[in-house]
Structures are given as structure tokens and as C-alpha cells.
Amino acid sequence: MNHDPQPAPSFWRSPTGLTLLVGIAVAGFYLLTEHTAHVFGALPYLLVLACPLMHVFMHRGHGHGAQHHAQPRSSDDEQPRQ
């Protein structure tokens, strides 16, 4: 008998997650159809806000704060002679 535990289902595939997704879709549709002028009026501010948010979330994998030790360059790293 194999008693491997099943991985927990994703939140977005649970009944609560699907209900939340449908609610977000309905709210988004309502905003776009009934408040188009307000949504388009906020777009410039959302673009400006996107810049710092992208820097915060996209620079995560750069290894900031990690200690990097300088390694001496070998002769193989140099440019080839012509």
C-alpha cells in the first residue's frame, strides 16, 4: 500500500477561491461598463504606481543582501587575442 499524502489543493481551485474569482470578474465588469470614465481617469496614476511596485517585486531574485566573494579572474575569462 502506498500512503503518499496528497498535496493540498490550490486556494484558487477551492470553492471559496472560485467564488472569489467570479466575484472579482463581476466587479471588474461592473466597473468597466458603469464607471468607464472613472477607470480611464485613474489609469495614469496606476501606471505611475506600477513603476515602484515592479521594482519592489521584480528585484527579488537579484540576490541583494547576499555576500558575494570576488573570485580572481583566470586567463580563460580574458578576451581572445586577434
In the prediction, which pLDDT does 19 show?
A: 95
Task: Provide the whole-model pTM.
Answer: 0.45
Which DSSP category does 59 fall into?
S
Stronger pLDDT, 16 or 1, i.e. the higher one = 16
pLDDT tens for each residue of 4-48? 677 777 888 899 999 999 999 999 999 889 999 988 899 999 999
Between the CA of residue 60 and those of 40, 51, 57, 70, what are the distances in Å? 31, 15, 6, 22
